[in-house]
Amino acid sequence: MARDQRDYYYRLAKEEGYRARSAYKLLQINEKFNVIKRGDSVVDLGAAPGGWLQVARKLSGGKVVGVDLEAIEPIPDVVTFRADITSASTIDLIREALGGSANVVICDAAPNLTGAWDMDHAVSVDLSRSALRTALQLLKPGGNFVTKVFQGDLFIDFLNEVRREFSLVNAHSPKASRKESAETYIVAKRLLSSPVHRGDILDIQIDSVGKSGDGVAMVDGFAIIVRKSTLGDKLRVKIDAVKPNFAFGEILERKG
Ligand SMILES: C[S@@+](CC[C@H](N)C(=O)[O-])C[C@H]1O[C@@H](n2cnc3c(N)ncnc32)[C@H](O)[C@@H]1O
């Protein structure tokens, strides 16, 4: 079954002119999550041989920049160069090639598999963490991020790191991924530009009450809504959800 599935996307890629069968993974991710829109500028990390770049350019029609350790055969209207995505200086090179910031950062980078499971998983998380760091520096507020991670012990911590930074985060395996593959894609939408993050613990004072009757505290001009609180309450709260314009805090402790 897995073999038939592989052959199906392999043949389809040949027929439709994509350089890699992985092109269908991005197409399927985009169909479900609408990550790349018309006019978006897109950065692709670990982009060789260029299947995702072809898809990104087709979907966006905007600026597309691809980076890989390996050379990428030219693709019309796409800028590519060789660099290591784990090196901090690569971010400046991408910004220069892009002429500014990006709407979307995607990463399908994969280590050379050693077959030692824990090792391959750890390197894959490392690559994804570099991709997240790049996304946080290059994305416009509200921008989207997709990255591949091999499943394993470190996955959940990394998923939570991504959750702190974006409003909507899903782990997803597209149909075009091989059934036996342990790869998962983290699809993160709407980069938050708020001064607070999910999981933050803050000491606050309720200084107004919203229409719903819930207490509201302002942190750096950003509203934190706290259920079961009233005017004047001094509280220690944990941020449990962050929306573009406000966040929800859960009471951990009432103070004095
Ligand atoms: C599965 S391939 C990407 C396929 C691509 N999405 C496509 O559709 O053609 C993974 C790529 O990650 C690249 N890669 C791995 N580590 C990297 C690193 N540190 N910096 C840049 N690229 C890296 C590899 O060279 C390889 O080309």
Specify the ligand 1 atom closest to the Cα of 49: 9
pLDDT tens-digit readout, 140-153: 989 999 999 999 99
C-beta atoms surrounding 19 within 10 Å = 18
Rounded Cα distance, 11 and 22, in Å: 12
Question: How much is the pTM?
Answer: 0.86
Domain architecture of the chain: domains with CATH: 2-191 (3.40.50.150), 201-254 (2.40.50.140)
Helical (H) or strand (E) element with 215: strand 215-219
Query: Which amino acid residue places its CA nearest to atom 27 of ligand 1?
Result: 48
Residue 148 annotated in active site: yes
Specify the ligand 1 atom closest to the Cα of 109: 12
Decide: 107 in ligand 1 pocket, CB within 6 A: no
Q: How far is CA 132 from CA 19, 76, 221, in A?
A: 25, 27, 26
Decide: 46 in ligand 1 pocket, CB within 6 A: yes
pLDDT tens-digit readout, 37-87: 999 999 999 999 999 999 999 999 999 999 999 999 999 999 999 999 999
Reply yes or no: is the peptide bond before residue 49 cis, omega within 30 of 0.
yes
Decide: 206 in ligand 1 pocket, CB within 6 A: no
